[in-house]
Structure 1
């Protein structure tokens, strides 16, 4: 988990789980002196004085142990309302966005979260209730990219024993007992019944999850080999041998094929593609931006034509969940070491701070843009024609703009007018997350 790690960013709420993790890593690091520990506490501003109490508790602990701490105070209720999503989802998105910001700030870093076996169990049942696939039933993985979860096989009972044995104090979040949240219903109502039926349920669940993981890994390896054998050039796939496979493998291969084209693939898209293949349907639109062409057992993925009347826009925020096109863009404020970042995605803050109504949006007919390193302003349409950008793709690109003045374009970068230069003191770094933040 900690191979080649210099900086360890630890999500710290102040609860029993996170305080156990922080305390353990602190003690462990005293012995090996390998990591720079960085605690990050996110105050969601949802529980008034209780939220402030939690932040103060974490602050006092870190000060006593001389652990570097960052506290971020975020109005989650306001953001959730703007984005029209639930508080739980919004809070998770914001937390991971903040953790990711710090992982970019500190080189050779990993993010440690205090998820436990109990959290994984809750996730398992929530995914089961929603009708998830085999992979979703694995629960919360111990490692995903640069995120590690050292406590994922430790139960809540073991955490509480560890805290008591080591005299570790912690705070309790009163919202954990609010049954308006489905996760709390699972933890408070469903899991206790199962443990009453079988007191060894924790051990059984661990064994069950391990079995699922092994089967999932085996099936994924098989489907990956088949997927690679089908792959041709230019988003084309030879599916001649796909029809004879078991439906389980078929769906997995189709998922990989579609994932090659778009990050936002759901089971409904896989089922539609499977229907197209089995019934020899030549053309089918899978979503607002993906179309399948099937001819002579060659499957080709194309961009669907987007309705030009579809107009969307979002305020310029740290997290920009562009739901019309299933993309999430994050914005990070940079104060130094600009060369570490992709320069074309850096926007000089001083050059845009006096602009009003800066928005993330799709393109407009009147848009103008000044290409980088070219001191000429031209119509975006003409600029796209010069670059020979696919017409189906143009309406899916994300713009940062004020009125018709385009500041930045997805995949192209910043305007000459707003790029950083030798006088730049601060900049915004714009980047897209490959996975939905909530699934990190």
Structure 2
């Protein structure tokens, strides 16, 4: 196995050469073998061990074992103890998720604080097959079936092409010692149940299941690359970007075959889970929305608009002195003698009609103003509808106010009450400058 592992590093992970490597080591057979192999290749390395305090003295014994292993190998060791159950309770997550979060957050701290280049974990081919079945049981697309990636940012998994049997054989031949986690023998979790009860049955009826699984993965990876190439063409055809959100042209999308599959591929990276609601949005009324934890998708006439959920959609008022302001937007205010040509980003107002300091803020339900050129008032919500301004665009609009009266719906329309007229003595030019 050593020669095969060395060849794998040379062909697929040659970027590790000369780098400082941090090995995630539980003390189990997989991570012990990985540490031994990396040490045999003479890399600069250290071990990192997490004590999750879940198995009492057994957890403490694992920690002492890994510390001793590092001492025998004459390499640095990082060890940390976590109150995993308390963290899980505080954050309302499962113990497994808590352990994963604590583990990887701590690993990243070590990488950054001690200048290690990569984190190596001991995931192997059997782990990959288990993950395949877990994702399959939960419902997934092709991304969930292509398996654990061998490289994900700074996390490297150089044992993914090796089976558990190969790892066990190497450990035995080299007289390695390791710790057995008793919790791995309890079918309490889905992964353990697969490992202990389901996959042994598959291997019994087909001893080539892992070999065939690798072949299937290669085929899925090829299909994934083909889909990615195709979707780049679809993206350019139906998607446009504007002011921080994405527009999907519904009619252009519907003109293509497999429209729901295309929409899934376009949106699957944004956290949406209720896909039937997403698909039905194409034929929904304008204004209907679907949310993920991070994004919102809006039906707006003949488009779907995708935007990040903005938790900082400010409702605060910001003062604007006579010379203008730089935050949260840039406004320049200057006295002039004559009215020039009106543009979208500037207005001319009567100085004597303003009461400084002015304020700027986001629009609110119930806001109304007197659009320039009209005599009567109009609610902003009606103005936005008439101007065909989408919900996403409305969320980004700022108002300029004087004594709580709207002077300018910035970038759209000024209020007629503040216009320059025959009684105006001093003219102010107010310009919205791009950041």
CA distance in 2, matches of 1:104, 1:195: 42
Counterparts of residues 40-439 of structure 1 (less than 5 Å) = 40-107=48-115, 109-229=117-237, 230-234=239-243, 235-239=245-249, 240-243=251-254, 244-247=256-259, 249-255=261-267, 259=269, 263=270, 265-268=271-274, 270-277=275-282, 279=283, 281-287=285-291, 290-295=295-300, 297-302=302-307, 381-382=316-317, 386-387=327-328
Offset at residue 87 of structure 1 (A): 1.3
Partner of 1:434: none
CA distance in 2, matches of 1:6, 1:383: 50
Task: Please give the TM-score of this superposition, normalised by the length of structure 1.
Answer: 0.65
Preserved contact between residue 227 and residue 253 of structure 1 (Cα < 8 Å)? no
Offset at residue 273 of structure 1 (A): 2.9
Of 65-74 and 380-389, the range deviating more from structure 2: 380-389
Query: Which secondary structure does the structure 2 equivalent of 1:172 belong to?
Result: coil
Query: Which secondary structure does the structure 2 equivalent of 1:232 belong to?
Result: strand
CA distance in 2, matches of 1:281, 1:384: 39
Preserved contact between residue 285 and residue 304 of structure 1 (Cα < 8 Å)? no
Q: Number of paired residues? A: 311
CA distance in 2, matches of 1:99, 1:202: 30
Residues 71/253 of structure 1: CA separation in 2 closer, same or farther (3 Å cut): same
Offset at residue 205 of structure 1 (A): 1.2
Among 16, 35, 39, the alignment partner of 1:26 is 39
CA distance in 1, matches of 2:319, 2:177: 59
Preserved contact between residue 220 and residue 252 of structure 1 (Cα < 8 Å)? no
Offset at residue 51 of structure 1 (A): 0.7
Offset at residue 147 of structure 1 (A): 0.9
Partner of 1:15: 28
Offset at residue 220 of structure 1 (A): 2.0
Query: Which secondary structure does the structure 1 equivalent of 2:257 belong to?
Result: coil
Query: Which secondary structure does the structure 1 equivalent of 2:45 belong to?
Result: strand
Offset at residue 254 of structure 1 (A): 3.0
Residues 164/114 of structure 1: CA separation in 2 closer, same or farther (3 Å cut): same
Residues 107/304 of structure 1: CA separation in 2 closer, same or farther (3 Å cut): closer
Structure of greater Rg: 2
Preserved contact between residue 41 and residue 70 of structure 1 (Cα < 8 Å)? yes
Task: Please give the TM-score of this superposition, normalised by the length of structure 2.
Answer: 0.65
Residues 40/297 of structure 1: CA separation in 2 closer, same or farther (3 Å cut): same
Offset at residue 231 of structure 1 (A): 2.2
Unpaired runs of 5+ in structure 1?
Answer: 30-34, 307-361, 366-379, 394-440
CA distance in 1, matches of 2:362, 2:193: 49
Unpaired runs of 5+ in structure 2?
Answer: 1-12, 321-326, 330-360, 364-390, 393-435
CA distance in 2, matches of 1:77, 1:384: 48
Offset at residue 297 of structure 1 (A): 3.3
Offset at residue 139 of structure 1 (A): 2.0
Residues 275/248 of structure 1: CA separation in 2 closer, same or farther (3 Å cut): closer
Offset at residue 249 of structure 1 (A): 4.3
Preserved contact between residue 224 and residue 253 of structure 1 (Cα < 8 Å)? no
